[in-house]
Structure 1
Amino acid sequence: MSELLLLQPVFKDRIWGGTLLKKEFNYNIPTNTTGECWAISAHPEGESIITNGKLKGMTLSKVYQDHPELFNHCESKTFPLLTKIIDAAQDLSVQVHPDDDYALKYTKDRGKTECWYVLDAVEGASMIFGHKAQTKEEFISLIEQGKWDELLIRREVKKGDFIYVPAGTIHALCKGTMVLETQQSSDTTYRLYDYDRTDALGNKRQLHIKESIDVTTIPHSDFCLMTKVTQIGKNVNTKFVSNQFFTVEKWDIQDYIQFPNTRFYIISVIEGEGLINLTKVTKGMHLIITSAAKEVKLEGKFSVIASYL
């Protein structure tokens, strides 16, 4: 059975998107405002297709349902995670995601806790992360008055940063950043503010003020990350976060490493090239090392973002 599943991404046009996905990864993007690459997805809004082996042509959701042995018989009824690459050529809307309890009550989707590894950022790039309101009443008042500069917290970002975004966190990627996003498999987003911009037809995008107020954590609290760096020969493993939603790591491979395997790993190659279990991988490829692989063998000079449960 398949040790590796290679995946074909799905691309999404966005009002704030650009062409960096083509420039950086040589993807055949559909438009000049392509904002998202859904790299590893079994979500019905954009499913990855297997491109290798006996399962070639099948959707990831179908493989997950039909072959639980490849996913260590994961208890989740649907594939639990979603990996994206986001090109923010313009500012994204100020938004917030619900937790599982709220999402399951009001939608048919999961909640959405996510995290970002910053692949690129122009000098002076920033993001919106959090708010200054101390009470719900103050939060609502600043929204109603449109005092966004008083409400929102803006922070600088640079290439190599890692940002953890729990459900309930007000946030927005801003112009000139590209990130790899690991998230719960969900497409539930509540848009709080969109700069009053309009689409090609002159229409403003829908806002979700009530839902945003319902789910936002008040007051905002930063999450303290305990990054762990482990050197194995010339190779480096950086563990950014590990909790009930996901574990996310960066593997910097400089020669060869081998280790036993009992789980499935979600892998995005972000730099270089090499071999994973004797399969050639290059920058921009996305794959799953399934639990059918009893060992993981990495060789070459490349870097990946790896996530797992």
Structure 2
Amino acid sequence: MQIEPIFLTPIFQERIWGGTKLADEFGYSIPSTHTGECWAVSAHPNGQTVIKNGPFQGMTLGQLWEERRDLFGHFPSDRFPLLTKILDANADLSVQVHPDDAYAQKHENGEFGKTECWYIIDCKKDAELVYGHHAKTKEELKEMMETGQWDKLLRRIPIKPGDFFYVPSGTIHALCEGTLVLETQQSSDTTYRVYDYDRVDSNGKKRELHLDKALDVITVPHRDANVHPHITQVDDATITTFIESDYFGVQKWEINGTVNLDQTKHFLIVSVLNGEGKLVSEGGSYDLKKGDHFILPYQFGRFSINGTLEMIASWPLVQKGAAS
């Protein structure tokens, strides 16, 4: 049996800050006008994507991971390691921070920590995001948080479409209004909310903050992540490698014509952000369009993509000390 790409049906999460761009831009059928997150490739218990083609049609990604680990190169992890999302920040997200693996294992029932990264698909003019803080010590950080000196504490950065940000665990961060983002992250749903602009939900309640845990995990002083994108030309494609560090590698593929590639990773996650085309392999030919998400399994081998497309590809990296 030839190995096929595994196409997935996204699921959607409603959020106080969500909007309608997931429908407007990608044609997804969303549950409400406050839809904030498309979980595009997920085996997390809080939202599992379902396989929509081939011999595994109807299975969740988590089921496939448990039953056919060979398709993922027997990647050394007790659970599917990554989660791919598209986020529609129709309003400011809460200012938040994520724990690392060691802290989450201890305090969040064995959950992974959460290191993530963002590719800015689109944003309004003069958009910005929160990335890091200005406190020099834990004491200063605690005092500024407790006295509400958010304008002085938070570091804001202007953004534009095509920007990439690596957000290691321990980094204070927030997407801001008018931003559409593809996020690659560890498979975790643990967030410590630091500040939420005193917003209330539909029941008039403020959302819970997690200041004690946040203070435990915030990196002080803030350190910018080291990101040096590397660009290569392969056939009719420009391939930008944004990062290959810690938990994952992430590339952008801009294809205008035909590109021939080789899948050499444990597995490769691919999201189509724009355009349309075809993926051709020994197993057959597959139509690609904006909003598609799929996995190329282990030993998928040589394949070509033709068309005019913009895609984000990601893959997991083996942690030091893990047996491969």
TM-score relative to the length of structure 2: 0.94
Give the distance between the partners of 2:158 and 2:313, measured in 1 at CA.
25
Per-residue CA shift, 1:23-75, capped at 9, x if unaligned? 00000000000000000000000000000011000000110111112111111
**What stretches of structure 1 of length at least 5 have no aligned partner?**
none
Instruction: Calculate the TM-score normalised by the size of structure 1.
Output: 0.98
Deviations 1:234-258 (CA, angstroms, capped at 9, x unpaired): 2110000001200000011111122
Q: Gapped runs of 5+ residues in structure 2?
A: 317-324
**Aligned partners of 1:86 and 1:178 also within 8 Å:** yes
Answer yes or no: is the 8 Å Cα contact 1:72–1:262 preserved in 2: no
1:236-247 paired onto structure 2 within 5 Å: 236-247=238-249
1:293 to 287, 297, 300: 300
Structure 2 residue identity aligned to 1:177: T
The AA in structure 1 aligned to 2:270 is I
Counterpart for residue 34 of structure 1: 35
SS in 1 for 2:259: strand
Match of 1:94 in 2: 95
Runs of 4+ in structure 1 over 3 Å off? none
The answer to whether the Cα contact below 8 Å between 1:131 and 1:153 also exists between their aligned partners in 2 is: yes
Match of 1:251 in 2: 253
Q: 1:135 and 2:142 equivalent?
A: no
On the 8 A contact 1:3/1:292 being kept in 2, the answer is no
- 1:188-209 deviation per Cα after TM superposition (whole angstroms, max 9, x unaligned): 0000000111011100100000
SS of the residue 1:62 aligns to: helix
Is this contact kept in 1: 2:119–2:181, CA < 8 A? yes
- CA-CA distance at 1:292 after TM superposition: 4.2
Q: In the alignment, does 2:271 pair up with 1:268?
A: yes
Q: How many equivalent pairs are there?
A: 309
CA distance in 2 between counterparts of 1:262 and 1:143 reads: 46
Q: What percent identity do the matched residue pairs reach?
A: 50
* Cα RMSD for the two superposed structures: 0.9
Asked if the contact 2:122/2:161 (under 8 Å) is kept, the reply is yes
Query: Is the contact made by 2:43 and 2:80 (CA closer than 8 Å) also made in structure 1?
Result: yes
Deviation sequence 1:212-241 (CA, Å, 0-9, x none): 000000000111211100012321100000
SS of equivalent residue, structure 1 residue 254: strand
Distance 1:244 1:75 in 2: 14
Q: Tell whether the 8 Å contact from 1:72 to 1:291 is kept in structure 2 after alignment.
A: yes
Q: What amino acid does structure 1 have at the position aligned with 2:274?
A: E
Query: Once the two structures are superposed, what CA deviation does each residue of 1:104-154 show, in whole Å capped at 9, x if it has no partner?
Result: 011121000000000010001011110000000000010111111111111
Instruction: Report the counterpart of residue 145 of structure 1 in structure 2.
Output: 147
Match of 1:306 in 2: 313
Q: Who is 1:54 aligned against? A: 55
